[in-house]
Amino acid sequence: MNRLFLRFLGPVLLSIAVATALVYAAITWIFGDPIEQSALRQAAPQIFLIEQYIDKAASDEWLLRLNKVREVSQVKFELIPLKQALEKLTQSQRQQLSTGKIVVNAAQRVLYRRVDLDGERYIGSEDDVLLVQELPIDYWFNIKLEVVRYIIVAFVLLIPIGFWSRAHWRDIQALAKVTENFGAGQLSARASTPAAASIYPLAQQINQMANRIETLLSSQQHLLHSVSHELRTPIARLEFALEILQSGLGSSDINGKQTQRIIAMQGDLSELNSLVSELLDSAKLDAQGQLQRETIVLEMFIQNCLQHLPPKPQGLDLQVECAATNKSLFVDQRLLSRAIQNLLKNAYKYADQKIIWRLKMQGEHWLISVEDDGAGIPASEREKIFDAFYRLDRSRDRATGGFGLGLSIVRQIIVLHGGRIHISESELGGAKFEISLPMVA
Ligand code: ADP
């Protein structure tokens, strides 16, 4: 939100600066440079002396009067050659000077003026310029005056913009909060933007969209939940029936063929049972809006995860790297362990010899990665693999079991924690699953 504010404030301030520059340029063009004009006002006594006292003298008295003024004035009056004066002036100032006008340089506190244009005062007077130095001009005061003037204009402009954007702001922020909550799983979150607000139509559309998503999700969850539940009872009945059948066979199954078939059927049923359990878990996660966060020391968390893993296949090396085992996580411990265990179980299935599980802090995030030296996951499959029932290489996967629900559950858990998961290629050669979890106080 701050970024949005800065992006808005930037152009506003820039436009005010551009407007100020334009106003200054327009005033200068129409009425002359305001700074120069106030310098002229400050130098008015000296200009008055030149125009009304020195210049009013008869030709032969002109120099006398100038000298008299020199004697009494603290300001320096000097005669310099026209060529020297021209060197110090800009093109437009030269033009002004050539028409006999007074040229002021406010920053240097000086003014220039031709003695005359046709050599009437004394011989060669048309080639001389009267340079008046150390004029009582306060250049910085004039600049400050102009700056204050424009700052006041900018403030007056900013006040209505500020009021307008504040109201706008609050509405946008409230809407952003709603979408954030909705995205975090709080499906009942809706915008209550007032009808008079300018973003009201947008808020209405977001609410409609949220309604549709909520309805769709809840009917999908309901369906999944009901189907899974309904399947449980016939599965249990079949298991029971198979057990009775097996115990009833007794000595009649001479070569054990019937028993073998029953055992195979029991295996299929237990597979079906775990599929139903995973489906129910997935549906529960979908419906879950809130996490049961608790504080857990990292060392305990690691131990908990490892304890509930199936036995590690022989010849496989699992390396756990964590530099901050005494730090604490504030997470839904049951769910996060489940996610990590799913990743580690997959690594058990697909690694050749080595698995590394890393946990570290980076800025405001926990980075958790599980990588192995197995066959890896092609870049084109890395997104799809998180979809439910998506499996990579069917011939390879069949041997490893599973329904393609494990990673989809991992992603659900990480998203519920406000985190992200992505796959890359491990330095070990296999797949690297990286989780980034925001630290929650
Ligand atoms: P399953 O329960 O079938 O393992 P998952 O959702 O956990 O389902 O994984 C989906 C697919 O992703 C797997 O079938 C497998 O093809 C692939 N996969 C998962 N983890 C790895 C890994 N560490 N290395 C290679 N492939 C993997």
- Distance between CA atoms of residues 181 and 190, nearest Å: 9
- Distance between CA atoms of residues 113 and 43, nearest Å: 13
Which atom of ligand 1 lies nearest, measured to the CA of 433? 23
Given 92, 113, 141, the domain boundary residue is: 141
Is residue 430 lining ligand 1, measured as CB closer than 6 Å?
Answer: yes
Residues of the chain with pLDDT > 70: what percent? 95
| Residue 271 binned pLDDT confidence (cut-offs 50, 70, 90) | confident
What value does the mean pLDDT of the chain take? 88
CATH number at residue 403: 3.30.565.10
Strands (E) in 351-416, as ranges, are 354-362, 365-372
- Distance between CA atoms of residues 6 and 8, nearest Å: 5
How many Å lie between the centroid of ligand 1 and the Cα of residue 334?
Answer: 21
Average pLDDT over every residue of 180-198 = 88
CA-nearest residue for atom 14, ligand 1, is 391
Residue 173 lies in a domain: no
Residues 253 and 304 in one domain: no
How many Å lie between the centroid of ligand 1 and the Cα of residue 349?
Answer: 8
Residues 253 and 375 in one domain: no
Residues 306 and 230 in one domain: no
Is residue 392 lining ligand 1, measured as CB closer than 6 Å?
Answer: yes
Name the residue range of residue 232's domain.
Answer: 200-287
Residue 330 CA, chain-centre distance (Å), reads: 25
Overall pTM surpassing 0.75 (yes/no): no
Is the model's pLDDT at 6 over the cut of 80?
no
Given 109, 141, 173, the domain boundary residue is: 141
Is residue 350 lining ligand 1, measured as CB closer than 6 Å?
Answer: yes
How many Å lie between the centroid of ligand 1 and the Cα of residue 79?
Answer: 95
CATH number at residue 263: 1.10.287.130
Residue 166 lies in a domain: no
Is the model's pLDDT at 251 over the cut of 80?
no
Residue 264 CA, chain-centre distance (Å), reads: 56
CA-nearest residue for atom 7, ligand 1, is 406
How many Å lie between the centroid of ligand 1 and the Cα of residue 392?
Answer: 7
Residue 195 lies in a domain: no
Number of domains in the chain: 3
Residues 232 and 319 in one domain: no
Mind spelling out the 3-state secondary structure of 123-160?
Answer: CCHHHEEEEEECCCCCHHHHHHHHHHHHHHHHHHHHHH
Residues 79 and 9 in one domain: yes
Best CA proximity match to 335, nearest among 388, 240, 412: 412
Average pLDDT over every residue of 377-381 = 93
